[in-house]
Amino acid sequence: MEMLVPLANLDFGEEESQAVLEVLNRRWLTMGAVTQEFEMQFAEMADVKHALAVSNGTAALHLACLVLGIGPGDEVILPSLTFVATANAVLYTGAEVRFADIIGPQELNISPESILKQITPRTKALIVMHYGGYPCRIPEIIEIADRYNLAVIEDAAHAPGARLEGRALGTWGDVGCFSFFSNKNLVTGEGGMLVTQRDDLAERARLLRSHGMTSLTWDRHKGHAYSYDVVELGYNYRIDEMRSALGLVQLSKLDKNNERRKTITQNYWGAFQGSRLGLPFRDLAAKSINSGSYHIFPVLLPEGVRRKAFMDTLRLAGIQTSIHYPPIHQFSYHRQLVSGVTLPQTERVAEREVTLPLYSSMSDSQVDLVLGAVIGTLE
Ligand SMILES: *Cc1c(COP(=O)(O)O)cnc(C)c1O
């Protein structure tokens, strides 16, 4: 069924097509000059020393875990209310995951108090995820990490361009990870970025991204290198020039597009004021001075409204919705790894959450359509 209002949509125009065509015409497709430019401009946007483009956000998270030395015998604390990749990146290394709860229905981000309860002598790192691009309590979490000598990884997949106290999300911890998947704020299809201020981590991530090899095909092509050694067991987590070209164009639109997402979000909040919907982050966003990325628009259904029926009604009206997220600790695979864990706030919110359409190319009439349908459905 063709949706009148999809959950997410691309903002691709002639510029994106042109940029990819130029790459094709230049006939160098694998990581090279365009990727270097994308990395440089992304680093500038986030005001961070190193940015490494990779094949997807999950690869960035996996590399983050590897360069921080996370492995068998270690534990990593992370939220359960996130995409499954946040946890899987840890599991790939042989380390164990420990889930912390979220703060509550107003703030769907990881709770510092809950983190403290999960720390053991084996804890090596914390992973936070800035839900919807709304900053988690990262200053407080960094204090905890410093106190217990833990590394901090930020899953900033929702948060390109978002800032807290003027500092880009993804650049507060040791390593930040972004995703450029099709439904994200900056889209390359598949794609991701790892950012860090630390030279040692960047150098190791660069090696592991490309088979642990000491030089790239591009460097040898340019005559910068003649042969190579392999110094670690690495991966092929490289991006390519077509995607980097898309990334450059999308990056140039990021601030404007995030601003449009903010306007739509504020329209939603205004229209749903006085409805029975729970509106996570609304009160916080009003107070804080951060520039957000407004990646998704979550609402919490009132008691007594059946979620499936609500979503079906909207679907029949041509409006696509989703759930962010089925909690990881309840998946068949992950449940057996962390048996007996209960996360009361996460579970309560996850049962009632519905994500409404939000994307920068959404028209005002599409927003009105969603508003009317949602309010009508709740009556
Ligand atoms: C999209 C996403 C990822 C994974 O990114 P991919 O590029 O799809 O691998 C990880 N974490 C969160 C929170 C995401 O939304």
How far is the centre of ligand 1, averaged over its atoms, from the C-alpha of 275 (Å)?
31
Which ligand 1 atom lies nearest to the CA of residue 60? Answer: 9
pLDDT for 241: 98
Look at ligand 1, atom 13, and give the residue with the nearest C-alpha: 83
Q: Which of 92, 177, 181 to mutate to test the pocket of ligand 1 (most atoms within 8 A of CB)?
A: 181
Residue 20 exposure: Cα atoms within 13 Å on the Cβ side:
13
What spacing in Å lies between the alpha carbon of 83 and ligand 1's midpoint?
Answer: 6
The SS3 assignment for 244 reads helix
Q: Is the CB of 265 under 6 A from ligand 1?
A: no
Note if 184 is an active site residue: yes
Cβ–Cβ contacts within 10 Å for residue 135, how many? 27
For 374, the 3-state DSSP assignment is: helix
Q: Does ligand 1 lie within 6 Å of residue 11's CB atom?
A: no
| 64 in contact with ligand 1, CB cutoff 6 A | no
Q: Given this model, what pLDDT does residue 90 score? A: 98
Number of neighbours of residue 72 by Cβ within 10 angstroms:
8
Q: What's the CA-to-centroid distance between 42 and ligand 1, angstroms?
A: 18
Phi first, then psi, for residue 229 (nearest 5°) are: -115, 160
63 lines ligand 1 (CB under 6 A): no
Using alpha carbons only, give the angle 164, 237, 226 rounded to the nearest 5 degrees. Answer: 115
- The DSSP output letter for 53 is E
Distance in Å, CA 54 to ligand 1 centroid: 12
Q: Which atom of ligand 1 is nearest to the CA of 295?
A: 15
Percentages helix, strand, coil for the chain, rounded to the nearest 5? 45, 20, 40
**From the candidates 124, 184, 256, 262, which is the catalytic residue?**
184
Per the listing, tokens 């709740």 go with 378
Nearest atom of ligand 1 to the alpha carbon of 158:
15
Measure 61 CA to ligand 1 centroid, in angstroms: 9
CA 192 to ligand 1: nearest atom:
7
* 132 Cβ inside 6 Å of ligand 1: no
Question: How do the pLDDT tens digits run along the chain, 379 residues long?
Answer: 678 999 999 999 999 999 999 999 999 999 999 999 999 999 999 999 999 999 999 999 999 999 999 999 999 999 999 999 999 999 999 999 999 999 999 999 999 999 999 999 999 999 999 999 999 999 999 999 999 999 999 999 999 999 999 999 999 999 999 999 999 999 999 999 999 999 999 999 999 999 999 887 778 888 888 889 999 999 999 999 999 999 999 999 999 999 999 999 999 999 999 999 999 999 988 776 567 899 999 999 999 999 999 999 999 999 999 999 999 999 999 999 998 899 999 999 999 999 999 999 999 999 999 999 999 999 8
User: Residue 374 — left, alpha, or beta (φ > 0 → left; ψ -120 to 50 → alpha)?
Assistant: alpha
Neighbour-count burial for 86-103, b at 16+ CB within 10 Å, e otherwise? bbbbbbebebbbbbbbbb
Question: How far is the C-alpha of 167 from the C-alpha of 290, rounded, in Å?
Answer: 9
